[in-house]
Amino acid sequence: MTQRKNNISFLFLFCLMFCISACSQEYYSVNNFGKLTLHNDSSFCFHYWDCGVDSGFYKIKEDTFFFTSNIPAVKFMRINDYKESNYHFNFVSWVEIFDSNGCFKKKKLSKIDTLKNDVKIDSIEFEKGQVLNFSIFGMSRKLLWNTDTIHSCYFEIDLRYGRRIYFENYPLLIRDDYLLPFDEEANEYFRKINGFEFLPMKKGKKNQKYKTYMSGFGPIY
């Protein structure tokens, strides 16, 4: 009986991989916002904000997809690695700080080196679970703080693109023609870093109509 179940599972995964490798697939959110396209080279495109395309790659483990963006929200953080003389800070902006429940706490002025894509924040204490929202040139980059308190740090942030959606090994369960968010911790992280909840998606026809959001204008087709 166990062997039979294993054979069925293997057959299911084989058929799934064959289907994906044979052609791209398009999924649409159940509320008709956003489209997710899976390509046969394990890459994906996700349309949601500003008619743009957020891209990355996916992998499959058993009955679950895992999605990761090509460009993370914040590439990495350095703490006091460089002297001030190594930087050319030519822009200043605000970093908004929210608590773990999403309630606004305060703003902190930051310095930006637009040549190195570096942001510096001085004399500040972050608490674990807080969300940092970097608002730079009208672009938003968010970071969920999951480390100890520090007093001065540098962040490398990609400034080349506008509003994006960020996936970080984000899991979606495969059920018939649906992709279903199921991991509570991953869903909470996605909501905090992107500002909205990822809803189930259903496989649809190629080039099917769907809605997206235009910053400052609201939903559009």
Q: For 102-132, how does the pLDDT look when each residue is reduced to its tens digit (9 = 90+)?
A: 889 888 888 888 887 788 887 777 788 888 8
Q: For 146-183, how does the pLDDT look when each residue is reduced to its tens digit (9 = 90+)?
A: 776 666 778 888 776 667 788 999 999 999 999 999 99
Q: For 27-60, how does the pLDDT look when each residue is reduced to its tens digit (9 = 90+)?
A: 999 998 899 999 999 999 998 877 566 889 999 9
pLDDT at 216: 60
Distance (Å) of CA 4 to CA 8, 11, 17: 6, 10, 20
pLDDT at 156: 80
Q: Which residues contact 107 (CB under 8 A, 6 or more apart)?
A: 94, 95, 96, 97
Instruction: Name the band, by pLDDT with cuts 50, 70 and 90, for residue 22.
Output: very low
Full set of structural domains in the chain with CATH: 2-69+166-220 (2.40.128), 76-156 (no CATH)
The C-alpha atoms of residue 49 and residue 211 are separated, in whole angstroms, by 10
- pTM for the model stands at 0.76
Nearest CA among 44, 11, 9, 10 for reference residue 25: 44
Nearest CA among 29, 34, 24, 9 for reference residue 58: 24
In the block, tokens 């002025």 appear at: 109
Count Cβ atoms below 10 Å from residue 178 Cβ, excluding itself. 14
Percent of the chain with pLDDT over 90: 28
pLDDT at 21: 42
Top pLDDT among 21 and 46 is at 46
Name the strand (E) or helix (H) holding 96: strand 91-98
Instruction: Name the band, by pLDDT with cuts 50, 70 and 90, for residue 63.
Output: very high
Top pLDDT among 89 and 84 is at 89
